[in-house]
Structure 1
């Protein structure tokens, strides 16, 4: 009985230390040209850049850091988690006093040339009593 329990514990510990499967999902890294409309700020343009965090990505799920710079040089940074054809995002303006931070969700389409297009909805709970926006981004 002890031998069976010891063997079971060894097998469980091997499973716990096994490496996660490598990342096999679509890589959304790169620069994107974006345009959108914010419920407070109106229309905007910007460039967003995603960077895959390979060590945190596994199977079809990706982990990313990103930054977005608007035409007025406002800058946001954040992180995202992906699944095939989708991204969930958290972002914050680089000036924390503004309390301009939020979450978003993006659907991802890929054209026949392999270029990605993001359609994103976001929610900002603390900026000016709350807000939201829509944006479209095309890989450059």
Structure 2
């Protein structure tokens, strides 16, 4: 084997090791999740400007892979009897949560964004009131829903 061929193999080997360790080195800057996990099934009661009062079930599921330090990422699903199902995502930091949702039916552009403050009720369960805005639903809609974790 010639010196040039050996050098090429060494350079390739160093590049390969550097690329493999790059992902590991960048992972060192990611902080382990240390915040509060708000995952669970929530029973909700809402009031919006167009549909009026409603009840719903919301499920929040933390995504540990995308959560770090006091910041958390969630998948969410929301079922409103007689109105449909929604999917979305949420992020939280400390006791604040931002939520985004969209209706699962393909023939609609119903979606919205909300903001909530988390707290424990007298029974020790997580609860929040979500203020939301849906710009496309019936030329715009807004409302509040209060949700309590079931277990």
> Under a length normalisation based on structure 1, what TM-score does the superposition of the two structures give?
0.84
- In structure 2, the residue matched to 1:43 is 53
- Three-state SS of the structure 2 residue aligned to 1:128 is helix
1:86 aligns with 2:96: yes
Alignment of 1:63-78 (within 5 A): 63-72=73-82, 74-78=84-88
Rg comparison, structure with higher value: 2
Q: 1:25 to 1:44 in 2, by over 3 A?
A: same
- Equivalents in 1 of 2:100, 2:125: separation in Å? 23
Shift of 1:38: 1.3
The alignment yields a C-alpha RMSD, in angstroms, of: 1.7
1:108 aligns with 2:118: yes
Shift of 1:70: 1.0
- In structure 2, the residue matched to 1:123 is 133
Gaps of 5+ in 1: 1-12
Gaps of 5+ in 2: 1-21
Deviations 1:65-90 (A, max 9, x none): 01011122610000000011111011
Q: 1:73 to 1:101 in 2, by over 3 A?
A: closer
- In structure 1, the residue matched to 2:144 is 134
Structure 1 stretches of 4+ moved >6 Å: none
Q: Tell me the matched-pair count.
A: 128
